[in-house]
Structure 1
Amino acid sequence: MIIEPNSANSLAAAAYARTQAGAAALGDSDATFSGEGESVSGFGAALESAVEDFSSSSKAAEKKASSGLKGQGNLTDIVTSVSEAQMVLQTASAVRDRVIQSYQEVMRMTI
């Protein structure tokens, strides 16, 4: 499966590069990440932004799928939008699983 580059992929890659480059220098949890016209401060705000992106992606996919069922719209756009929504859902599920796994690991620690 070949993933075509798009703005979401390039934003994610840029954000990842910034976090890797600045992780050693920051040393605190109040890191500020900025993307395309937005600035996110802290983990909670980053998580909220990711949830909003997931929501908007799934809504766009639903709209395009419903227009496809009505016989309107471009088939390529519909398939692309549904694939993006699926990828975002898989990413959200992976992050959720990792957070739960980390929480369980912390709970198993002895004090």
Structure 2
Amino acid sequence: MSNASVAASAYANTAKLANPLEAGNEVADKSGAFGNMVQSAISEINESGQVADVQSLDLLQGKANVVDVVTAVAETELALETVVSVRDRVISAYEEIMRMPI
């Protein structure tokens, strides 16, 4: 599997995650600001990943600067690390709540 097909698959998967509130689920409708924040973050990661991909292809064609490509990739990496950090904190909080005595 080539890098381009792996990237396309990853972007397709993040695009699916970008619209979790459109599932028609009553719980999703009540998720409020946190759900909107997660949806927004995933959309931003998807967009920045696409920008980094376009910059990389432009570099291969001689149309882009190496600095621009490195900047785009670094921005995407930072955004992804931020979302993963938030996910880890949410899971940690959930686990802590589950350990609470009733």
TM-score, scaled to structure 1: 0.58
Shift of 1:76: 1.4
**Equivalent residue for 2:40?**
49
Return the letter of the residue paired with 1:97: D
1:62 correspondence with 2:87: no
> For residues 65 and 74 of structure 1, what CA distance do their matches in structure 2 show?
9
**Equivalent residue for 2:71?**
80
Which structure exhibits the higher relative contact order, with contacts defined as CA atoms closer than 8 Å and separated by 6 or more residues? 2
**Counterpart selection for 1:93 from 68, 84, 87:** 84
The structure with the largest strand share of the pair is 1
Structure 2, gaps ≥5 residues long: 1-31
Structure 1, gaps ≥5 residues long: 1-40
Shift of 1:73: 0.8
Identical-pair percentage: 39
1:106 correspondence with 2:97: yes
Shift of 1:55: 0.9
Return the letter of the residue paired with 1:73: A
Q: Which consecutive aligned stretches of 4+ in structure 1 deviate over 4 angstroms post-superposition?
A: none
> For residues 96 and 109 of structure 1, what CA distance do their matches in structure 2 show?
20
> For residues 81 and 61 of structure 2, what CA distance do their matches in structure 1 show?
27
Matched residue count? 71
TM-score, scaled to structure 2: 0.63
